[in-house]
Amino acid sequence: MNLPRPSAAAEWDLSAEEALHRRRVRRMLMAGGGVMVVAALWWGGYFATQGLWLLVASDLVILTSGVTVLALVCRGHLRAASLVILPVLLAVLTLQALLLDVPTAVAPRSVHLYLLPLAVFALVAFRHEKPWLARGAPLLCLALFLVFSATQGHWVAGFQLPDTLRLWGSWINGVLAVSTLFVMLYILQTDASPLTARQIELRKALARGQMVLHYQPQVDATQGVVGAEALVRWRHPTRGLVMPDAFIPLAERTGLILPLGDWVLAEACRQLARWSHDPALAPLVLSVNVSAAQLHQSDFVPRVMATLQAAAVAPERLRLELTESVLVQDLQTIAGKLAELKAHGVTLSLDDFGTGFSSLSYLKRLPLHELKIDKSFVQDLLENGSDATIVESMLTLGRSLGLRVIAEGVETEAQWRYLCDRGCHLFQGYLFSPPLTPDAFEALVHRAGIPQGGAGAPLPQASAG
């Protein structure tokens, strides 16, 4: 049976859950390995001064295992590290509890306390393993803890440590074991939300330069390229190219859209600066999508201007795309910011027009340059009479307000001809080209030749790419 493919967001949820799990295990192993090293150094050093060489040897085993665990974690071998830490600690703690740390009326047994954090660790680390390990390992730790807590006896006499040493040792073991337990529970609790893992992954992606911009040509009635829309993609190391629908909503919910938006704007301006040296590319206007959170930043306008200035790009080459949802809040302040941007020469486009805000009064109040008919209307244009009527009304509205109107999502020649016949002169869609890498976009414009009089150069062929 063919199961439906999970959506990009669902796939990301799955891998985010996996990333979260690995992060938890990694942090627990680091904490556990660290405690092993510290405890072995402390006790080993002390036993060496007392000439208790058997105990020094046992601490050397713990030290070596602790260092091995840390080294494996650093190389990303979390399963191997977990399979080292569990048997070594189980064996060493059991032997110590049976032979050395034998309770008396004066001093209790304490070394078995480490079995509690070990049980929590085993529960998390072996979650995806076979049931005998996933459930068996934590249950074994807890069962041993119970046995050593409830029994006084020792089965092999002659090795037990003196009570005076075990008395203060029980405090050290108690504090260290309870602290480790606390750290394990803390790691579980702070990582509880899968959102955290996705956020972390996205933040790292930004810092590691995994974001890229692709460029989709915008063409005129002669199919000459007159501009492009910059569309962000995440070049994920294992999942390939991740589309914005899978991460922009999360970026918007978590505020990461601000640094991401800054990067997109800066990269778009750097691209415009590179194009400015090429006669075929220099006249193009680049559209950049802007989210509500970006626009609501009090210093949004100076930020945009500073970015343009840093790249030495003329403001006229940049077009900002806003969606209607951006305009729901505080229209007056937004209108002020947009007017400022317009005064500097930056043009503004209303993206996904027709899909959001019901009142059209904002069209009068905002210094817009362009309306972008949403692809949902274009796609059913020929089959759905009401979509055709809406598109025609949008074209009329644009004309009467003196705005450019561009249709996005044009996929077929029939849609294109229909729109041309109704007076639409600007287009974006797979019929002309999908979004392209910078090199592919530049090659396409070069193949098309140098735009003349701003009309743009015709594309060599109309292809759905």
Give me the residues that bind ligand C2E (CB under 6 A), please: 216, 231-232, 243-245, 248, 261, 264, 289, 291, 321, 351-352, 375, 408-411, 428-430, 435
Q: Could you tell me the smallest distance in angstroms from the CB atom of residue 408 to ligand C2E?
A: 6
Q: Which stretch binds Mg ion (CB under 5 A): 197-205, 214-222, 346-354, 357-365?
A: 346-354
Which CB, 56 or 326, lies closer to Mg ion? 326
Residue 294 is encoded by which pair of tokens?
A: 């970006």
| Cβ atoms of 158 and 99 closer than 8 Å | no
Residue 97 is encoded by which pair of tokens?
A: 């509890």
- C-alpha distances in Å from residue 216, one per residue of 96, 130, 240, 412: 68, 48, 19, 16
Pick one of Mg ion, ligand C2E, none as the site partner of residue 435 (Cβ within 5 to 8 A by kind). ligand C2E
Q: Which of 201, 324, 352, 370 binds Mg ion (CB under 5 A)?
A: 352
Q: Which of 321, 324, 370, 442 binds Mg ion (CB under 5 A)?
A: 321
- C-alpha distances in Å from residue 127, one per residue of 76, 173, 293: 18, 27, 39
Which CB, 70 or 410, lies closer to ligand C2E? 410
Phi, psi of 426 (to 5 degrees): -130, 140
Residue 324 contacts Mg ion per CB under 5 A: no
Q: Which stretch binds Mg ion (CB under 5 A): 184-192, 244-252, 287-295, 434-442?
A: 287-295
Strand partners for 458: 224
Pick one of ligand C2E, Mg ion, none as the site partner of residue 409 (Cβ within 5 to 8 A by kind). ligand C2E
Q: Which of 180, 223, 289, 428 binds Mg ion (CB under 5 A)?
A: 289
Q: Could you tell me the smallest distance in angstroms from the CB atom of residue 336 to ligand C2E?
A: 21
| Cβ atoms of 93 and 60 closer than 8 Å | no
How many helical (H) and strand (E) elements, i.e. helices and strands, does the chain have? 18, 10
Rounded CA Rg of the chain = 32
- C-alpha distances in Å from residue 191, one per residue of 159, 207, 354: 43, 21, 41
Pick one of Mg ion, ligand C2E, none as the site partner of residue 122 (Cβ within 5 to 8 A by kind). none
- Per DSSP, the three-state class of 209 is coil
Pick one of ligand C2E, Mg ion, none as the site partner of residue 173 (Cβ within 5 to 8 A by kind). none
Which positions lie near Mg ion, rule CB under 5 A?
289, 321, 351-352
